[in-house]
Structure 1
Amino acid sequence: MIKEVFKIYDFQKPKGGNPLSKLLVGGLIEAEGDRLLKHRKILNPAFNIEKLKVTPRTNCRVHNGDIGDPEALSVSAFTILNTCSSDYHNSSASAVISTLPGFSGKLPFKLETGYIGIGEEENVQLFYYFVESERNPKDDPLLVWQAGGPGCSDFGALFTQFGPLQFNTTFVEPTLTLNPYSWTQVANILFFDNSPGAGFSYARNQNAYRNSDTLSAAQTYEFLRKWLKEHPKFVSNPLYIAGISYTGIVLPVIVQNIYNGNELGNEPIINIKGYILNNPLTDRSIDFNSRIPYAHQFALLSNELFKAAEINCHGDYINENPSTRCVDNLQEIDKCLESIFQMQILEPICLEDTTALYKDGSSSEKNRTNAIRSLKYINTACRENGYSYFALWANEKSVREALHIHKGTIGTWELCNSDHYVIGKDDTATYTYDVSSSLPYHKNLTKKSCRALVMSGDHDMVFPYIGTRKWIRSLNLTVGRPWTPWFVGKQVAGYTETYMNEDYSLTFATVKGAGHSAPEYKPEECLAMVDRWFGSYAL
């Protein structure tokens, strides 16, 4: 499939990148919402932060030097003014769901779905799934999960990672079963489709589809304030913002917005305690340049080839290099890596063309009988193929009725708004990438009373753990607990280290054998990890 992706997206000497570094730079292949995204863009890590920013259309006025600017991290520079009306235009609608198609009997947990309108005219309607903790909803943490992409649905996290339900892939018809390692055993979880055009979220006009890193962060802050106003009994719960992959760019901005809003007195005051990141993109230069050293470390590249590339490319494998030797080395590296499943390097790569079902759901909508028949021939040992159940289920009329989806708001369900990336461009008609690195936000958060958990599946080559450790060390924190194994069931589950700075603490943990979405690959270990961390215990 990766070879087919290269053919489709035509890797021709991209601007700002080595012409042959297609696997490592162009067409970033990344897992989001538990699918393999083929971003139609050549990502230039040397992003110009001065590029045009989209003006957010929210209840709050946003001015020059907005919250997305790394220069504007302090409250004094926090220019979303506290002029938001306390009386929001409330067009939200929520419903408690007791049964779902494909699940036998009543749901043994409380599931609520609904919409939150964003902006002065609420032209953006963000759809959410809320699952109450099965332990102690009153006191357990409130975890707000954000998928990456950018612009993906939380559907994958809900049904394949750590939500209470999962698809049973042993049946042809999509059926649901309980997840024994759901994080809802220890936390209330708010999943939401964070961008119109992804999942069940939508926009009321074309202009409302425009988005950016900073606008997405502002919309999430607005979404959260409105949701808490409608669910006041959860205002006092300890709140954590969490996410995966590209969310590593946006999430620290969201957390910063919350702290700034609290200090400005915005209502409701959010009981923010910290954040969780899973294999995040944090700094384009650090994270993308870590792929080749990671591949060498895991014996996917020879010592000779790696050393040659390191010398000839000067350790920079993503920016344009006039050296012919560097280009030749990267070409050889591509040959070694192009057939590796980047999300989990030990798993098979999908070679069959059986992924159309989850890409856009068109197969299930046009001819459901043929779609179900095609599931009989899917090799679910190839993980990506298992995602074919997503669209088949989500496009069912009975499913939409059960979830109380607004009729006529979307056509075919899509996991991700995949047109965000356009090859050869940094920005598109619908998205502006105006945060090149979230490191300045992490650095500012180290001055807050804040806890951070950063987990890395150690077999992920999308955003390898060695890059994550590098940017963590750049924060210049004090080492609390040095590198040591952590255990589940008396077995090594990974390795961990802790850092601190006054009231700030950061726990980094690898998950042994896990891929990009760590809870999907190692559910028992990840549940144990977050449960211990929420309780302030050592892993």
Structure 2
Amino acid sequence: MFSQSKPLLTLLLTILVFFHTFCSSQNVIEYLPGFPGKLPFKLETGYIGLGEKEEVQLFYYFFESEGNPKEDPLLLWLTGGPGCSSIYGAVYEFGPFTIDPSSPSESLPSLVLKDLSWTKMANIIFLDQPVGSGFSYATTPEAFRSNDTYATELDYEFIRKWLISHPKYINNPLYVGGDSYSGITVPLVANNVYKGNEAGIKPLINIKGYMLGNPRTDAFADPNERIPYANRMGLLSDRLYQSARVNCEGNFVNIDPDNALCLNDLDRISQCLDKINDFMILEPKCDSVWRVEGGILSSNKPSSKEIPTNFLQSVVAPVSKPICRNAHLNLIHTWANNKSVRDALHVREGTIEEWVRCNNTIQASVTATDGTGPYVGNVKSVVGYHKALTRKNCRTLVYSGDHDMAFPHTSTEKWIESLKVPLVSDWRPWFLEGQIAGYTMTYGHGDYELTFATIKGAGHTAPEFKPEECFALIARWFAESSL
């Protein structure tokens, strides 16, 4: 009888193993196309199936800490958008490698190592979320539909399942982090983790807090602060700003169509800000990944009129033309869509036709009022979620590039103040190599602490512009030392 049932048992085990492998896979990557030789760090990629029937398959990149992986923090990083691929954050913000910008666009780009990777001090999971981002996909059309609250419930399910399949990290201190639109999702995920622990949901997670960079927080307050911020940065005159403030009654978002004085002021403001790069006010505004608006970028050699005289020298020195920061997007697009790269990353064939940095369909549907798109931004403000976390044993870091007009640091300062957490350390500079790197404040009571910091001269998002300062900021914060 046993001998007859053995083949059946073997078949059932094979089916179970196959099913588990399909729904939750993990692969250690030792070589990546474009990088010479074996990777000098541990990289794992995989999928974890989520939802009632695991119809959502979220793709992740896990970089083990290059320091002390057994004790270093575990950081779950949620890229913004929503709908943007997390590999962009790894490559261009704070992961261990990036794409050589001098790579020819017509061939496979080369990869180079970065000295200022946060993996020097943390284990990091970069998660492609929500479904439809990066290489994440759904097995049914219905599973592509999501919203802020449901997506973050799946993110919580993801970290539980990931820790179950990676038990050696279960005691590492966990932080949830993200930037831009993830200012909405990160507080929701953090709240889910704390509530799950309180409800006894296994595995219990050793969460210590969360961090946010240049975060979106409130659908009204953030955009409404852009005009006051522009005035503070010298982009609008005091006269024009004060006129708009009075005529629009401080509301620059929900405009009364019959308020002619307000509309006139806002039209003049639009003319002043139209060619300003919201994400970094000092850099050119690009209308594509290849050129700058107004023809600033060109393959033609500069004429003599474009070569200013350097009065400190006796010769006329040519000045290089400004380059669009996002001009490198064509390189990562080429790399991520190369078949050898997809094979190396173990991306499942037939799931994603083309990798894109950000899923425009998801982004466009966030603010749609008809709710017909694949993603609904159903949480308009997370200030209440932040408030709830002030009652937890929680460390919070919020940092902002001070030249970001899309999500101004002044708006962030206002919602932090609205939490009514006692001030521990007032506004002061923080330093790197003897120079002011930004400014910081600390709030706290009991087991809760919130650190706010600006990064001087950075835009959206800060690590892309000031990697040295951001590396120092994160290292000091993880070490619980003063900035």
Task: Give the TM-score range, shorter chain.
Answer: 0.7 to 0.9
Corresponding residue for residue 10 of structure 1 = none
Corresponding residue for residue 163 of structure 1 = 95
Q: Return the alpha-carbon distance in structure 2 between the equivalents of residues 422 and 282 of structure 1.
A: 18
* Structure 1 residues 237 and 400: CA distance shift in structure 2, 3 A: same
Q: Return the alpha-carbon distance in structure 2 between the equivalents of residues 276 and 325 of structure 1.
A: 41
Q: Return the alpha-carbon distance in structure 2 between the equivalents of residues 252 and 89 of structure 1.
A: 31
* Structure 1 residues 423 and 453: CA distance shift in structure 2, 3 A: closer
Contact kept? 1:165, 1:178, Cα under 8 Å: yes
Shift of 1:165: 0.6
- What SS is found at the alignment partner of 1:207? helix
Corresponding residue for residue 294 of structure 2 = none
Q: Return the alpha-carbon distance in structure 2 between the equivalents of residues 387 and 228 of structure 1.
A: 33
Shift of 1:414: 1.6
* Structure 1 residues 89 and 262: CA distance shift in structure 2, 3 A: farther
Corresponding residue for residue 51 of structure 2 = 119
Corresponding residue for residue 349 of structure 1 = 285
Deviations 1:352-383 (A, max 9, x none): 6638xxxxxxxxxxxxxxxxxxxxxxx88210
Matched to 2:167, the amino acid is P
Q: Return the alpha-carbon distance in structure 1 between the equivalents of residues 221 and 393 of structure 2.
A: 27
Corresponding residue for residue 245 of structure 1 = 180
Corresponding residue for residue 481 of structure 2 = 537
Aligned residue runs from structure 1 range 178-327, under 5 A: 178-321=113-256, 322-327=258-263
Corresponding residue for residue 75 of structure 2 = 143
Shift of 1:250: 1.6
Contact kept? 2:289, 2:324, Cα under 8 Å: no
Q: Is 2:333 the counterpart of 1:391? A: yes
Q: Return the alpha-carbon distance in structure 1 between the equivalents of residues 52 and 404 of structure 2.
A: 41
Q: Return the alpha-carbon distance in structure 1 between the equivalents of residues 61 and 423 of structure 2.
A: 38
Shift of 1:390: 1.5
Deviations 1:376-413 (A, max 9, x none): xxx88210111211211111000001101111111011
* Structure 1 residues 380 and 121: CA distance shift in structure 2, 3 A: farther
Corresponding residue for residue 108 of structure 1 = 40
Instruction: Please identify which structure carries the higher helix content.
Output: 2
Shift of 1:218: 0.2
Shift of 1:423: 9.5
TM-score normalised by length of structure 2: 0.87
Identify the range of structure 1 (427-436 vs 265-274) with the bigger mean alpha-carbon deviation: 427-436
Shift of 1:429: 2.6
Deviations 1:238-297 (A, max 9, x none): 000000111111211110000000011111100000000001011122211110011111
Contact kept? 1:131, 1:184, Cα under 8 Å: yes
- What SS is found at the alignment partner of 1:252? helix
- What SS is found at the alignment partner of 1:190? strand
Matched to 1:147, the amino acid is T
Q: Return the alpha-carbon distance in structure 2 between the equivalents of residues 456 and 514 of structure 1.
A: 8
Cα-Cα RMSD: 1.8
Pick aligned residue for 1:176 from 107, 111, 123: 111
Matched to 1:278, the amino acid is G
Corresponding residue for residue 401 of structure 1 = 343
* Structure 1 residues 424 and 177: CA distance shift in structure 2, 3 A: closer
Matched to 1:171, the amino acid is S
Pick aligned residue for 2:382 from 438, 443, 449: 438
- What SS is found at the alignment partner of 1:284? coil
Corresponding residue for residue 425 of structure 1 = 368
Corresponding residue for residue 133 of structure 1 = 65
Matched to 1:342, the amino acid is D
User: % of aligned pairs identical?
Assistant: 51
Q: Return the alpha-carbon distance in structure 2 between the equivalents of residues 384 and 314 of structure 1.
A: 37
Corresponding residue for residue 371 of structure 1 = none
Q: Return the alpha-carbon distance in structure 1 between the equivalents of residues 196 and 182 of structure 2.
A: 20
Superposed structure 1 runs of 4+ greater than 3 Å apart: none
Q: Is 2:393 the counterpart of 1:461? A: no
Structure 2 residue runs of 5 or longer lacking an equivalent are: 1-18, 292-320
TM-score normalised by length of structure 1: 0.78
Q: Return the alpha-carbon distance in structure 1 between the equivalents of residues 367 and 376 of structure 2.
A: 14
Shift of 1:89: 6.0
Matched to 2:423, the amino acid is V
Q: Return the alpha-carbon distance in structure 2 between the equivalents of residues 422 and 231 of structure 1.
A: 35
Aligned residue runs from structure 1 range 55-74, under 5 A: none
Q: Which structure has the higher relative contact order (CA within 8 Å, separation 6+)?
A: 1
Q: Return the alpha-carbon distance in structure 2 between the equivalents of residues 449 and 290 of structure 1.
A: 31
Shift of 1:425: 2.6
Q: Is 2:276 the counterpart of 1:340? A: yes
Larger radius of gyration: 2
Aligned residue runs from structure 1 range 339-378, under 5 A: 339-351=275-287, 354=290
Contact kept? 1:89, 1:122, Cα under 8 Å: no
Q: Return the alpha-carbon distance in structure 2 between the equivalents of residues 161 and 115 of structure 1.
A: 23
Q: Is 2:294 the counterpart of 1:329? A: no
Matched to 1:320, the amino acid is I
Matched to 1:398, the amino acid is S
- What SS is found at the alignment partner of 1:387? helix
Corresponding residue for residue 455 of structure 2 = 511
Q: Return the alpha-carbon distance in structure 2 between the equivalents of residues 237 and 515 of structure 1.
A: 31
Structure 1 residue runs of 5 or longer lacking an equivalent are: 1-87, 356-378
Q: Return the alpha-carbon distance in structure 2 between the equivalents of residues 387 and 353 of structure 1.
A: 6
Contact kept? 2:29, 2:44, Cα under 8 Å: yes
- What SS is found at the alignment partner of 2:220? helix
| Number of equivalences | 431
Q: Return the alpha-carbon distance in structure 1 between the equivalents of residues 287 and 384 of structure 2.
A: 40
